[in-house]
Amino acid sequence: AQSVTQLDSQVPVFEEAPVELRCNYSSSVSVYLFWYVQYPNQGLQLLLKYLSGSTLVKGINGFEAEFNKSQTSFHLRKPSVHISDTAEYFCAVSASGTYKYIFGTGTRLKVLA
């Protein structure tokens, strides 16, 4: 079975500062990893995904994440955040060859002016 841990429930950061949202997972099999963003009163939108290949994955809106197999982590980073990045961010894991996701509990990013 897989599990996902997002240790930070809320992350406040000032505009134009860098940010890292942490995600750790556990699994006994190979996994696919995803980051989704949810803006207020909306559904979830894919930011980026890791299926295989390069461990550094670039996504939309300037976000990137690095898959670290030895540390079982998939942290999300952005070098300079904007007010419009204020949203909730979810990490998800899916075992290879399946279509079910396990979601983390989410991290609420609040960008301050």
Partner 1 sequence: DVKVTQSSRYLVKRTGEKVFLECVQDMDHENMFWYRQDPGLGLRLIYFSYDVKMKEKGDIPEGYSVSREKKERFSLILESASTNQTSMYLCASSSLSGGSYNEQFFGPGTRLTVL
Interface contacts to partner 1, rule CB under 8 A: 6, 9, 32, 34, 36, 41-46, 49, 51, 90, 94, 99-101, 103-106
Give the residue with the Cβ less far from partner 1, 13 or 104.
104
Give the residue with the Cβ less far from partner 1, 15 or 102.
102
The nearest distance, CB 106 to partner 1, in angstroms, is 5
Question: How far are the Cα atoms of 29, 95, 105 from residue 38, in angstroms, in the given order?
Answer: 28, 23, 12
CA atoms of 76 and 22, how far apart (whole Å): 6
Give the residue with the Cβ less far from partner 1, 71 or 105.
105
DSSP string for residues in 42-67:
S-EEEEEEE-SS-SEEE-GGG-EEEE
Give the residue with the Cβ less far from partner 1, 15 or 101.
101
The nearest distance, CB 96 to partner 1, in angstroms, is 9
The nearest distance, CB 7 to partner 1, in angstroms, is 13
The nearest distance, CB 56 to partner 1, in angstroms, is 19
